[in-house]
A and B are shown apart, each in its own frame.
Chain A
Amino acid sequence: AQSVTQLDSHVSVSEGTPVLLRCNYSSSYSPSLFWYVQHPNKGLQLLLKYTSAATLVKGINGFEAEFKKSETSFHLTKPSAHMSDAAEYFCVIRRGNNRLAFGKGNQVVVIP
């Protein structure tokens, strides 16, 4: 079954420094992968998606992710963290019947 693993449940970064959130996937076929962001007590917002086109995917708010089949990874990066990036981030993989499987999330804290 398709699944994703996110390590580092809590990540602290200083404002202006790079952000790296790691995601590894398991899939028996070419996966569709997503990153979502959730600000406190809000719904989830799609940051970016990979659906077997370009392996480097650019999303909103300066985030991007690179699909690496050899490493079964889809890590999320941003060159310079902003205070507004403080949120929870979920790596997600598509399952059958248009269902999604979510990772446990990375809680990002941005230190001024």
Chain B
Amino acid sequence: SQTIHQWPATLVQPVGSPLSLECTVEGTSNPNLYWYRQAAGRGLQLLFYSVGIGQISSEVPQNLSASRPQDRQFILSSKKLLLSDSGFYLCAWSAADRWNYEQYFGPGTRLTVT
């Protein structure tokens, strides 16, 4: 069966520090991968998605970037964190099959920028 991992689970970082969040998927090949941010009272916002290694699409301009160095690894990064980057970050995957649209979510990372 497929599983998705995210780490760390929680993170407290000062403003201006770098960020690296990691997501890995097991039990599937060539998944579509997604990064979301969930801010208090604002629902889920899609940040990035990837349909293959090195292929990243950005949904909104922001202080963050994403990379996919391996088929089942998706990394969210920032060179200098802002207060507004605080939130709950969720990674998700979906099958590359165009008829299977549901996404499966990881446990999330709670980021607090101080």
Contact = CB atoms under 8 A, between A and B. Distances in A.
B49 A97 contact: yes
Interface in A80-106: 90, 94, 97-100, 102-105
A99 B92 CA distance: 11
A25 to B, nearest CB: 14
Interface range for B: 20 to 34
Interface in B63-114: 88, 90, 92, 94, 98-99, 101-108, 110
B104 A98 contact: no
A83 to B, nearest CB: 22
A34 B44 CA distance: 14
Given A42-B107, A44-B90, A99-B49, A51 B43 contact: no
B32 interface: yes
Contacts of B49: 97-99
Contact of B108 (A41, A99, A100): A41
B104 A46 contact: yes
A32 interface: yes
A94 B101 contact: yes
Contacts of B103: 46, 100
A27 interface: no
Contacts of B99: 51
A60 to B, nearest CB: 13
Find the residue from A41, A49, A98 having the highest chain B CB count within 10 A: A98
A41 B110 contact: yes
